[in-house]
Amino acid sequence: MEGTPMRRDRVESTPPHGDVIRADIRSPARGDPRTAVLVAHGFKGFKDWGFFPHLCESLARDGHLVVSFNFSLNGTGPNLVDFTDLEAFGRNTLSRELEDLRWMLDRTMAGEWSGGRAPAATGLLGHSRGGGTSVITAAEHSGVAALVTWAAVSTFQRWGEEQVKDWTTCGVTFIPNARTGQQMPLYRTLWDDLRANADRLDVTAAAAMVRVPWLIVHGEEDATVGVAEARRLHGAGPSSALRVVAGSGHTFEAVHPMEETTPGLEAAIEAAARHFRRSL
């Protein structure tokens, strides 16, 4: 499959909120894929980070239309690979990411990226925070036919006392980006949204509502989102299966920029590809 010709198009889409979503559409160069997979990045992520292009190319060579995208307020802007819009990053909320994911799912299912031909079935794959968002979307949206989560969070309640204090006293807290050295703002709107929509944003509760085939992939040595969170989602999700990648971490040892793949990443990709082959 490695040598299968592939097509990639870059597109932009603007939901009703008015902020642009930038996406890559990958598909086999020959033939019209009958199935589609929508890929969602996580916190401080973007569609061109590390393993995402390789993952998407692998799924496209497996015969799917693959749509990867940047959430509208992820902070990269038209630059795509640098956080050039920290103001947008600061304004982002979980409800906004759910809105973006649903918008892209609806566009994909309507055939917007495939010449008007609606796919016969559409799957979701989300990493880390994007995994949690994908769980909620799969629980809410009847059009999702299969779900894969990589290193998914089981809860969005991940903020400490100092950050909450910053929000309540200053309206903003800052988090470091170890890769770029930037201090990235998070405005109080994130915290307010999480509290105001606590029921909807309960990932573990949503897991219990997912009825489509769901594969949970998680690195055994994940220091960012511990494997206990994968086990919690698996315990809550009646349609889920769990694949723990031995000796692997949060990004399956992939880095950015990615120069070569890793055994952990290839194990995660093969597990996801096999799941979509069976389920879509």
Amino acid 30: pLDDT: 85
Separation of first and last alpha carbons in the chain: 19
Looking at 9-13, 28-32, 137-141, 238-242, which range is the least confident one? 28-32
Q: Is the pTM of this model over 0.85?
A: yes
User: What value does the mean pLDDT take over residues 173-183?
Assistant: 95
Size of the chain in residues:
280
Strand partners for 98: none
Residue range 6-157+198-279, CATH number = 3.40.50.1820
Amino acid 3: pLDDT: 63
Amino acid 114: pLDDT: 93
User: What value does the mean pLDDT take over residues 31-55?
Assistant: 97
Domain ranges of the chain: 6-157+198-279
Closest CA relative to residue 217, chosen from 157, 258, 276, 142: 276
Model confidence band, residue 273 (pLDDT cutoffs 50, 70, 90): very high
Cis peptide preceding 257, ω within 30 of 0:
yes
Amino acid 4: pLDDT: 72
Q: Is the pLDDT of residue 214 over 60?
A: yes
User: What value does the mean pLDDT take over residues 213-233?
Assistant: 98
* Separation CA 151–CA 129 (nearest Å): 8
